[in-house]
Amino acid sequence: MRNISSLRCLFCAYPKNKFLSKYFSNQVHRKAEQIINEKRVIFSGIQPTGIPHIGNYLGALKHWVELQNESDDIYYSIVDLHSLTIPKSRDFMRDSIFNITACLLACGVNPDTTVVYQQSSVPEHTQLSWVIGCIVPVNRLKHLPQWKEKLESSIDGGGHIGRYTYPVLQTADILLYKATHVPAGEDQAIHLVLTNEFAKSFNRMHGKFFPETQMISNPTFARIRDFRDPRVKMSKSSPSINGRIELTDTDSEIHSKIKRAVTDCTSQVTYDPENRPGVSNLIQIHCGMCNITPEEACAIACNMDTGKYKSLVADAVIDQLSPIREKYLNIRKDEVKLKMVLDHGAERARVVAKSNWESIRELLGINIAEIS
């Protein structure tokens, strides 16, 4: 139970007797403190860079929906500033923001209980990011695999500053709301390490302010692989559209992509992500879609060859995705409503972001508003 109002009611029932009142006051206080400490602040983000794929869905969005409740503070951000690190056209960006918002709602994100908003509508993200950038050593960032990858992939060996400082902005996203939990795929774990390191060093300098942040993910389907090349993770930017299933794909596209998924020469269905990445990827997808374990999936597939199993997995994916696709097509038509959802979310996010940012300014000694 995380609802404090029921405890307040309990306390209110005993005000007459002084002794009882004090006793219950202490009890309720202790319980309330425990409950407040248990309250989670959940934050996560997704880039508006196209229609989410089943990797995004299983690694993140499925958790986002399942985690929703009345008692926690939940923020799901469409991290548009992050997506500027790979330049896209104005029309693409605008469209993608609406597409992602519609996808979140179609998956079951509820904007009444959850704050759904655009990152760039809350300026404190970039303000805090600057502060973090002034504290995190460049050498620390250089150790992130991302830094090396970007250097290697950029033609002139330099590239844009935003690509290197991306993890700094991500740390700011999480800490701006003092998030305790981040539901995300495996690729985000490295960022969480940086976030916690930064939070610790900030707390050492200024007193305990930021909480420790935990990642929420299911190791079985936290890293879904590309169907065409199961050595790499499924990605919105992978070269072949056949490597990923997007949430809006038709039933026949889903069947055809899974049918053509690269596996290996063994026809048996066994779970071995290291040595049989292709077939293990199908098992992981099956597990995520049906909430079963790899052992259960293999038991279901014990008399099937990979060809037959692909068909079963495709049906499981269709069962989950076709209602989402239908809802998406409906919701996506109404941009006015989608904008209202984002505006309302931004208003709510700004209240918390502003308050936390003011406290951070105070700790840094740059908030002189209180001096008369």
Residues that bind ligand TYM (CB under 6 A): 43-47, 55-56, 58-60, 79, 82, 170, 173-174, 182, 184-185, 187-188, 222-224, 233-234
For ligand TYM, give the closer residue by CB, 82 or 255. Answer: 82
* DSSP structure class, residue 211: P
Q: Closest distance between ligand TYM and the C-beta of residue 17, in Å?
A: 49
Choose, from 22, 62, 150, 310, the residue flagged as catalytic.
Answer: 150
Closer Cβ to ligand TYM, 190 or 304, answer by number: 190
Nearest to ligand TYM by Cβ — which residue? 59
Residues 6+ apart with CB under 8 A from 306: 263, 266, 267, 268, 269, 279, 282
Least distance (Å) between residue 179 CB and ligand TYM:
8
Residue 31 or residue 88: which is nearer to ligand TYM going by CB?
A: 88
* 109: nearest Cα among 78, 148, 142, 147: 78
Q: Three-state SS for 366? A: coil
* 150 part of the active site: yes
Question: What tokens were used for 192?
Answer: 């969480």
Report which of 200, 192, 155, 151 is spatially closest to residue 174, judged by C-alpha positions: 192
- Out of 62, 233, 257, 310, pick the active-site residue: 233
Please indicate whether residue 233 is annotated as part of the active site.
yes
Q: Are the C-beta atoms of residues 56 and 63 closer than 8 Å to each other?
A: no
- To the query of whether residue 236 is one of the catalytic residues in this protein, the response is yes
Helix (H, G, I), strand (E, B) or coil at 247: coil
CB of 220 to ligand TYM, least distance (A): 11
- How many Å separate Cα 233 from the centre of its chain? 16
CB count within 10 Å of CB 300 equals: 17
Smallest gap from residue 2 Cβ to ligand TYM (A):
23
**Cα 219 to Cα 46, 187, 215, 222, distances in angstroms:** 19, 11, 11, 5
Which residue lies nearer to ligand TYM by CB, 28 or 288? Answer: 288
> Closest Cα partner for 60 from 283, 223, 297, 172?
223
Minimum distance of ligand TYM from residue 152's CB (angstroms): 19
Nearest approach in angstroms of CB 229 to ligand TYM is 12
> Do the bridges between strand 181-183 and strand 214-216 make them parallel or antiparallel, or are there none, so unpaired?
parallel
> In angstroms, what is the minimal distance from the CB of 4 to ligand TYM?
27
Q: 200 vs 308, which CB is nearer to ligand TYM?
A: 200
Cβ nearer to ligand TYM, comparing 40 with 82: 82
Collect contacts of 189-192 with beta carbons under 8 A, ≥24 apart. 189/215, 189/217, 190/144, 190/145, 190/146, 191/167
Tell me which residue has tokens 């690694």: 59
Q: Which one from 22, 142, 178, 236 is the annotated catalytic residue?
A: 236
Task: Tell me whether residue 45 or residue 278 sits nearer to ligand TYM (CB atom).
Answer: 45
**Which among 22, 86, 78 is positioned nearest to 52, based on CA atoms?**
78
Catalytic amino acids? 150, 233, 236
